[in-house]
Amino acid sequence: MKNIRNFCIIAHIDHGKSTLADRLLEFTHTIQVTSGQMLDNMDLEKERGITIKSHAIQMEYTYQGEKYILNLIDTPGHVDFSYEVSRSIAACEGALLIVDASQGVQAQTISNLYMAIEHDLEIIPVINKCDMASANPEEVEDEIVELLGCKREEVIRASGKTGMGVEEILAAVIERIPHPEGDEDAPLQALIFDSVFNSFRGIIAYFKIENGIIRKGDKVKFFNTGKEYDADEVGVLKMDMVPRNELRTGDVGYIISGIKTSKEVKVGDTITHIARPCDKAIAGFEEVKPMVFAGVYPIEAEDFEDLRASLEKLQLNDASLTFQPESSLALGFGFRCGFLGLLHMEIVQERLDREFDMNVITTVPNVSYNIYDKQGNMKEVHNPGGMPDPTLIDHIEEPYIKASIITTTDYIGPIMTLCLGKRGELLKQEYISGNRVEIYYNMPLGEIVIDFYDKLKSISKGYASFDYQPNGFRTSKLVKLDILLNGEPVDALSTLTHIDNAYDMGRRMCEKLKELIPRQQFEIAIQAAIGAKIIARETIKAVRKDVTAKCYGGDVSRKRKLLEKQKRGKKRMKQIGNVEVPQKAFLAVLKLD
Ligand code: GDP
Ligand code: MG
């Protein structure tokens, strides 16, 4: 135990965690020097340059003549995955806090730091990307000293690109981070901080032992799920899995035990022995709840079962994805999926397309509402279409968040206007350093899922970072805004919105849909309604679309090509009544100006 150090790297997205982690692995000869990042091994991770799942890896390093085992846990930096970050943090005694030398402290730098402080981790501040011409390490050092209350000498300057500072970081890990503690003779208590699905080995759970010893072949159980398993294989994580006969207190490792689905492995759960169980689970276990919901529908009705099979497979290694069948008058049979956040939703959509070749239509995302009837019963509704009749509703509650935005003083004005338009209430405003400021808002989550990120990015020219935490539910005056095409309500286009914004939103929806729905051979009326009351209307004029008229002479093959092209074009359309509606129309509400 004395020569073990368990640490993680925390940072705002893109500040260079994965790159720096690769340099540490190279320096300790854990991996060979190659190009590209080693820790992000999912294709999608490489392309997007973000770490979606946390990974753990063991390094060996000799320092002042003594051999040390360093377990590095790489964490995802995006808000949607902050639960995984917090579990990774719980498995460590220390953290490298990476801050980009040109960007300075950002929203997730602070939220991750708070999590690390809550878990009493020793923090080693590192200014990364010092090789860049735009680097401003002096000013960033001021910010860090201010934030942590540490000494200037404690801040390490580094570069994941050139390898500057890597040796100094390893020395700091050994000297400043305490070794794990615990009792080897006590009953087994191991924290599960992650799990992966491997197509050859099944589900693999990663854990850190807080107390006791685990041996190959042991009979174990997962405390919170109550499920029992044989420890078929246990081992440590290097670039590959390395089996061991036993792992002891303080060790980080993996277990393979015939776990069938990722649902059985709950990140944050405790592994113990069946024969001599620990008397309580490791604290801090919480079920992650999806925050954002959207309908996912196959374009071709006959692909419904394929879509179900694909979602089931995705769920095998993404336990936070939920789905249940639903049907829409407009879109037919599909699923209502629950996601941790918007990025998570985008990733699932992209994986459906890439890994399963599933062509789907997704509806506008929404949050979960608590609907109270006149008798005081509460029902959770995840879909505006599932709203009970308004006359039966007593009141509706919607989820709120506490948002933190870090920006420079130049953009405070426009950001405050944006937040106000999203029903935000300013909580406080604090200067971080020089002209950089952190603003806190209380806001409805439903307003964020719509187009907040994009707007924030564009009005701040990228100089604003954003993070949020759930902050309870509140009663709000919400109404269901329906959209009708030629008099038929299209359930997939309904949204719940605050009554004060409903008229404006109805008008803008109609205008946007007029732009997005192509002219057809008859006139199309687009209407917005609240209950029976029409509040806005636009009309799409008829057109006679005769593509073959463009063909001269009797060029049959050209004619056929055009017809085929038109047919393919139709594939991305959905027939609603007699109107053909393109996918982008279902997301119109995200694109309102
Ligand atoms: P993460 O999101 O924190 O894991 O960040 P990555 O390690 O994926 O790095 C984000 C981007 O910054 C990538 O394009 C890296 O190549 C680049 N990068 C990372 N570290 C450095 C560095 O020290 N210097 C320079 N110039 N670029 C870096
Ligand atoms: Mg990364």
pLDDT band at 412 (very low <50, low <70, confident <90, very high): very high
| 62 CA → ligand 2 middle, Å | 26
Q: What's the pLDDT score for residue 51? A: 42
pLDDT band at 105 (very low <50, low <70, confident <90, very high): very high
> For 269-286, what is the mean pLDDT?
89
Q: What is the pLDDT of residues 144-199, one digit of tens each?
A: 998 899 999 999 999 999 999 999 999 999 999 999 999 999 999 999 988 877 77
Q: Flag whether 317 is marked binding.
A: no
3-state SS, one letter per residue, for 113-143: HHHHHHCCCEEEEEEECCCCCCCCHHHHHHH
Residues near 37 by beta carbon (within 8 Å), at least 6 away in sequence: 18, 19, 22, 46
Closest ligand (CA of 23) = 1
Q: What's the pLDDT score for residue 555? A: 56
- Residue 132 CA: which ligand 1 atom is closest? 26
Q: DSSP label at 212? A: S
Residue 4 β-bridge partners: 69
Judge contact between 521 and 543, C-beta under 8 A. yes
DSSP states of 559-588: HHHHHHHHHHHHHTEEEETTEEEEHHHHTG
Q: What is the pLDDT of residues 15-58, one digit of tens each?
A: 998 889 889 989 999 876 555 555 555 555 554 444 444 468 89
- Residue 159 CA: which ligand 1 atom is closest? 23
Could you give the CA distance from residue 513 to residue 588 in angstroms, rounded to a whole number?
Answer: 7
| 167 CA → ligand 1 middle, Å | 18
Residue minimizing CA distance to atom 10 of ligand 1: 14
Q: What is the pLDDT of residues 543-592, one digit of tens each?
A: 865 555 554 555 556 666 665 655 544 455 677 777 888 877 887 777 77
Q: DSSP label at 265? A: S
Judge contact between 183 and 154, C-beta under 8 A. no
Q: 226-235, 250-259, 338-347, 507-516: which range is least confident on average?
A: 338-347
Residue 342 has pLDDT above 60, yes or no: yes
Closest ligand (CA of 17) = 1
| Residue among 250, 118, 122, 136 nearest 183 (CA) | 250
Could you give the CA distance from residue 397 to residue 490 in angstroms, rounded to a whole number?
Answer: 24
- Residue 162 CA: which ligand 1 atom is closest? 23
| 19 CA → ligand 2 middle, Å | 7
Residue minimizing CA distance to atom 22 of ligand 1: 129
Q: Flag whether 183 is marked binding.
A: no
Q: Flag whether 19 is marked binding.
A: yes
Q: Quote the tokens at residue 11.
A: 């940072």
Q: DSSP label at 324? A: E
- Give residues (CB < 6 A) around ligand 1: 11, 13-19, 49-51, 77, 128-129, 131-132, 159-161
DSSP states of 270-306: EEEESSS--SSPPTT-------EEEEEEESSGGGHHH
Could you give the CA distance from residue 469 to residue 403 in angstroms, rounded to a whole number?
Answer: 7
Closest ligand (CA of 10) = 1
Q: What is the pLDDT of residues 481-529, one digit of tens each?
A: 999 999 988 888 888 899 988 999 999 999 999 998 988 888 999 999 9
Q: What's the pLDDT score for residue 560? A: 64
| 160 CA → ligand 1 middle, Å | 7
Q: Which amino acid is at 574?
A: K
| 238 CA → ligand 2 middle, Å | 18
Residue 77 has pLDDT above 80, yes or no: no
Half-sphere exposure of 216 (CA within 13 A, CB side): 10
Substitution site in 15, 19, 74 for ligand 1 pocket (most atoms within 8 Å of beta carbon): 19
| Residue among 178, 203, 308 nearest 254 (CA) | 203
Residue minimizing CA distance to atom 11 of ligand 1: 14
Q: What is the pLDDT of residues 385-402, one digit of tens each?
A: 788 888 889 999 999 999
Q: Flag whether 386 is marked binding.
A: no
| Residue among 27, 87, 80 nearest 54 (CA) | 87
Q: What's the pLDDT score for residue 449? A: 84
| 45 CA → ligand 1 middle, Å | 14
Backbone angles phi, psi at 248, to 5 degrees: -115, 175
| Residue among 7, 25, 6, 4 nearest 69 (CA) | 4
- Residue 130 CA: which ligand 1 atom is closest? 23
Could you give the CA distance from residue 198 to residue 206 in angstroms, rounded to a whole number?
Answer: 13
Q: Flag whether 131 is marked binding.
A: yes
Q: Quote the tokens at residue 314.
A: 């995705």
Task: Quote the percentage of the chain above a pLDDT of 70.
Answer: 88
Could you give the CA distance from residue 252 to residue 71 in angstroms, rounded to a whole number?
Answer: 7
- Residue 21 CA: which ligand 1 atom is closest? 7
Half-sphere exposure of 343 (CA within 13 A, CB side): 16
Q: How far apart are the first and last CA of the chain?
A: 58
Judge contact between 179 and 76, C-beta under 8 A. no
> For 294-320, what is the mean pLDDT?
87
Could you give the CA distance from residue 162 to residue 475 in angstroms, rounded to a whole number?
Answer: 54
| 302 CA → ligand 1 middle, Å | 44
Q: What's the pLDDT score for residue 54? A: 44
Residue minimizing CA distance to atom 19 of ligand 1: 16
Query: Is the model more confident about 43 or about 8?
Result: 8
- Residue 158 CA: which ligand 1 atom is closest? 23
What mean pLDDT value characterizes the chain? 86
Q: Flag whether 258 is marked binding.
A: no
Q: Flag whether 128 is marked binding.
A: yes
| 143 CA → ligand 1 middle, Å | 20
Q: DSSP label at 422? A: T
| 159 CA → ligand 1 middle, Å | 9
3-state helix, strand, coil in the chain (%, to 5): 30, 35, 35
Q: Which domains, from first to last, does the chain contain?
A: 4-176 (3.40.50.300), 189-273 (2.40.30.10), 292-363 (3.30.70.870), 370-476 (3.30.70.240), 480-591 (3.30.70.2570)
Q: DSSP label at 157? A: E
ipTM of the complex: 0.98
Q: Quote the tokens at residue 260.
A: 């069938």
* Residue 447: alpha-carbon gap to chain centroid: 17
Q: Flag whether 268 is marked binding.
A: no
Residue 247 has pLDDT above 60, yes or no: yes
Q: What is the pLDDT of residues 432-472, one digit of tens each?
A: 877 889 999 999 999 988 778 878 988 988 888 888 888 89
Residue minimizing CA distance to atom 16 of ligand 1: 19
* Residue 54: alpha-carbon gap to chain centroid: 12
Buried b (16+ CB within 10 A) or exposed e, 391-412: eebeebbbbbbebbbbbbeebb
Task: Report helix, strand or coil for 242.
Answer: strand
Residue minimizing CA distance to atom 9 of ligand 1: 16
Longest Cα–Cα distance in the chain = 91
Residues shown for the chain: 593
Sign, CA dihedral 7-10-15-19, equals: positive
| 590 CA → ligand 2 middle, Å | 28
Could you give the CA distance from residue 465 to residue 471 in angstroms, rounded to a whole number?
Answer: 19
3-state SS, one letter per residue, for 533-565: EEEEEEEECCCCCCHHHHCCCCCHHHHHHHHHH
Q: Flag whether 14 is marked binding.
A: yes
- Residue linked to tokens 């426009």: 414
pLDDT band at 67 (very low <50, low <70, confident <90, very high): very high
In this structure, the number of other CB atoms found within 10 A of the CB of residue 317 comes to: 19
Q: Flag whether 514 is marked binding.
A: no
Could you give the CA distance from residue 67 to residue 45 in angstroms, rounded to a whole number?
Answer: 33
Could you give the CA distance from residue 506 to residue 521 in angstroms, rounded to a whole number?
Answer: 25
- Residue linked to tokens 């007699």: 578
